[in-house]
Copies of this chain bind each other. A is one copy, B any other.
Amino acid sequence: MGCFKLNKHGGYYGKKNNVIDFSVNINPLGVSEKVLEKLKESLKNIVKYPEIDGLSARKKLAEKLGLDYKEIILGNGATELIYLFAKSIKAKKVIIIQPTFTEYKRAFKINGSKVYHFVTDKRDNFNIDITSLITKIKEVKPEVVIICNPNNPTGTFTEIERIIPVVNVLNEIGGFLFVDESFIDFTNEKSYLKLIYKYPIFIIRSMTKFFAVPGLRLGYGIGNKKIINRLNQYKEPWTLNSLSLDIIPTLLEDAEYIKMVEKWCNSQKEFLFSKLKDLDYIDVFPSKSNFYLCKLKKGNVNILKDKLLKRNIFIRTCEDFYALDDSFFRIAVKRESENMKLIEALKDMTLV
């Protein structure tokens, strides 16, 4: 019998109302009116089974991304695709670039993979030392290397030019690069998407973080036809509900909302970073994404968390992330007024 305990995060679920939840990396601007209207209309379709292979939605996504629909697979959240990939590849050995999202490790362990960790250094702001990574890959010879880009919880981004030598080595040893681009829409950085034609790469993305609909569960994966076909061999039927399938075209075409989110993101990311930097008891790490990893210079973050919750502010402690400890916490970028409340509260705390 295995022992793969379910991770316990996913937002504030306590008894208090009016808690500002800085623990979830979701766009805080709420659901677009256009999307809500379409969902209300789509409720009539729940009397039917969702399209079993989501073909219509895949075609729509393919058109938008400039891909063939056979290069796309849908997921009940990006999470389904992590588990599906792990199950389909059945890797003997994987390397996870750490610290990162905890589900990769669980998914691959459940499927019998031996997990190796490549740990980035906080003194380098968690940037990957590519030479060391390549050495590790040559030594371990894994079937899969996992990178989250931008990385959760550090916000680090690895540019396409820097990853090329890595995928070249993977190509030589017959391994895959598994790339989680769940947060790429919050950056101005370039995706690895076009690499799928030349390199063994599988990319997953979330549609619910940027569009603020995590309750719907909606993600997708991108890879060459061979890998997508392989994943489809193992995919469970009807995993996406009909509302998720129905809403894809509306999300993709909601230009006004997309612009609004980008505007918020560009201004509030900078604002929050500069304010966090001013706090003398915290180290904050630069991030390309919509959240910041912070470190208490002294003390245990759970005390800070409890104090903040008394002021209706909830933060994500990071002791469950590999290579982090109870001095680390993560803060999502929220609306201006909310960010200011957080900063005010943090200012009122002393070294905890």
| Chain A interface residues toward B at CB < 8 A | 1-11, 13, 24, 26, 30-31, 36, 39-40, 43, 45-53, 76-77, 79-80, 83, 87-88, 103, 107, 110, 212-217, 230, 232-244
- CB nearest neighbor in B for A29: B47
Chain B contacts for A77, CB-based, 8 A: 238-239
Whether the Cβ atoms of A233 and B2 lie closer than 8 Å is yes
Q: 10 additional contacts, CB 8 Å, given A11-B48, A45-B215?
A: A1-B233, A2-B234, A31-B46, A31-B47, A39-B43, A49-B215, A76-B239, A87-B110, A214-B238, A241-B241
Whether the Cβ atoms of A80 and B49 lie closer than 8 Å is no
Most buried by B among A5, A8, A239: A239
Pick the residue among B49, B215, B237, B243 that contacts A103 (CB under 8 A).
Answer: B237
Chain B contacts for A244, CB-based, 8 A: 241
Q: Looking at chain A's contact residues, is the secondary structure mostly helix, strand, loop, or mixed?
A: loop
Whether the Cβ atoms of A238 and B47 lie closer than 8 Å is no
Pick the residue among B213, B217, B232 that contacts A6 (CB under 8 A).
Answer: B232
Whether the Cβ atoms of B8 and A214 lie closer than 8 Å is no
Whether the Cβ atoms of A30 and B47 lie closer than 8 Å is yes
Pick the residue among B31, B40, B79, B243 that contacts A236 (CB under 8 A).
Answer: B79
CA–CA, A80 and B232, complex, Å: 16
Chain B contacts for A40, CB-based, 8 A: 40, 43
Pick the residue among B2, B46, B87 that contacts A213 (CB under 8 A).
Answer: B46
Copies in the complex: 2
By Cβ-Cβ distance, the 7 closest A-B pairs, closest first, are: A215-B242, A46-B215, A10-B49, A10-B52, A49-B214, A217-B241, A11-B49
Q: How many whole Å from A47's CB to the nearest CB in chain B?
A: 5
Q: How many whole Å from A301's CB to the nearest CB in chain B?
A: 21
- CB nearest neighbor in B for A53: B6
Chain B contacts for A2, CB-based, 8 A: 88, 233-234
Chain B contacts for A216, CB-based, 8 A: 46, 241-243
Pick the residue among B46, B107, B213, B234 that contacts A214 (CB under 8 A).
Answer: B46
CA–CA, A84 and B3, complex, Å: 15
Q: How many whole Å from A78's CB to the nearest CB in chain B?
A: 10
Chosen A-B contacts, 15 in total, with CB atoms closer than 8 Å, are A2-B88, A4-B233, A5-B233, A6-B232, A6-B237, A24-B49, A31-B47, A47-B215, A48-B215, A79-B236, A79-B237, A87-B87, A87-B110, A215-B243, A243-B243
Whether the Cβ atoms of A214 and B4 lie closer than 8 Å is no
Q: How many whole Å from A27's CB to the nearest CB in chain B?
A: 9
Most buried by B among A7, A40, A88, A243: A243
Whether the Cβ atoms of A213 and B26 lie closer than 8 Å is no
Pick the residue among B7, B103, B215 that contacts A50 (CB under 8 A).
Answer: B215
Whether the Cβ atoms of B49 and A212 lie closer than 8 Å is no
Whether the Cβ atoms of B237 and A10 lie closer than 8 Å is yes
- CB nearest neighbor in B for A50: B215
CA–CA, A36 and B45, complex, Å: 11
Q: How many whole Å from A212's CB to the nearest CB in chain B?
A: 5
CA–CA, A8 and B235, complex, Å: 13
Chain B contacts for A213, CB-based, 8 A: 46-47
